[in-house]
Amino acid sequence: MPGLFDPLDLGSIALPNRIVMAPLTRARAGRETIPNQMMADYYAQRASAGLIISEATGISREGLGWPGAPGLWSNAQVEGWKAVTSAVHKAGGRIVAQLWHMGRLVHPDLGLGQPVSSSATMAPDLAHTYEGKKPYVEAYAATRSDIRRIIGDYVCAARKAIAAGFDGVQIHGANGYLVDQFLRDSANFRTDEYGGSIENRLRFASEVLEAVGDAIGMDRVGIRFSPNIYSQGIEDSDPIPLFTALAHRLEELKVPWIELREAHQPTSAGAIPTAPVSPAMRPIYSGKILLNSDYDGRSARARMAEGIADAISFGRPFISNPDLVRRIAIGAPLAPGDIATFYSGAAEGYIDYPTLDEAVAA
């Protein structure tokens, strides 16, 4: 079986190792939603990853509902991202842009209007805004015209990602955001061709992937799912049939890689995982499967040895260990992260974590 330090091709992207940096919202782009030099430094520090998947990046003002997160709909944002991708490439890395529409999880204070979703529903809990946490508002059900417009926004953002120097894109289809809101029967109550049966609920994700693949080449496209946990009000009553049907669709579309946030223990938010879907998807889907959720070096190697995962993506460990790849390679201890600074917007807890050599020298 391949190991964590063997090379891997994800479509047209050649990885030198199979330790992938998972998408991590860090809220350093400010109200302007434009990437900056601090972000370029942060990503370049972590360029030893086989692949960096960028933080979730809004495809439109309508779809971006997290304070301080970046976007990819304006020329100014493209120029900001160019500095990031250039820094990563100069450091020997590869990076793809994760394209994000949050759907019903966008508060009007940030999205500048009533949010849109698969159906007229309201997210649970509270939204993050620049003025603090506020209750969500009910989303309206996307019309066919809205769906065409939003797919166009994905295409536009994908083209801008390539113009900004990214090696490809990943569609965010996980964690209760818009693609997930169409996929799952807990949020999709439509009676048209986008709702009801599993085949219909797959339609929105399929059309997004097909349109983006036509625009930039399917060999540069991946997608992320969170199949076996309840996340931000979203789950499915029977995920195995849903995700095996999805595996067939991904195979038909020739999507070269997927990332599954497939929890194998309770998540940091307290979600209890159901049965994993990757064993059911593997015999159907011939593309590469990246698994994510609370791995360290030892558990990642064990999961790779099972023959389902082609790579492992690491989230929080990359926050506080910019040289995570080396630490895993030599079995060095991992530095803990400071949760209080995860979304602070400052350099502290972002670009000031030392490498192992720097920590030893200090």
* Type of residue at 131: E
Calpha distance 195→22 (Å, rounded): 30
Catalytic residue of the set 177, 194, 230, 295: 177
Maximum separation of any 2 CA atoms in the chain, in Å? 63
Annotated active-site residue 350? The verdict is no
For residue 127, report the phi and psi dihedrals to the nearest 5 degrees: -90, 145
Q: Are 301 and 294 in contact (CB under 8 A)?
A: no
Q: Facing residues of 261 across strands?
A: 292
Write b or e for each residue in 93-105: b if 16 or more Cβ atoms lie within 10 A of its Cβ, otherwise e. bbbbbbbbbbbbb
Q: Are 2 and 17 in contact (CB under 8 A)?
A: no
- Give the count of beta carbons closer than 10 Å to the beta carbon of residue 193: 12
Q: Are 288 and 257 in contact (CB under 8 A)?
A: yes
Q: Which residues are catalytic?
A: 177
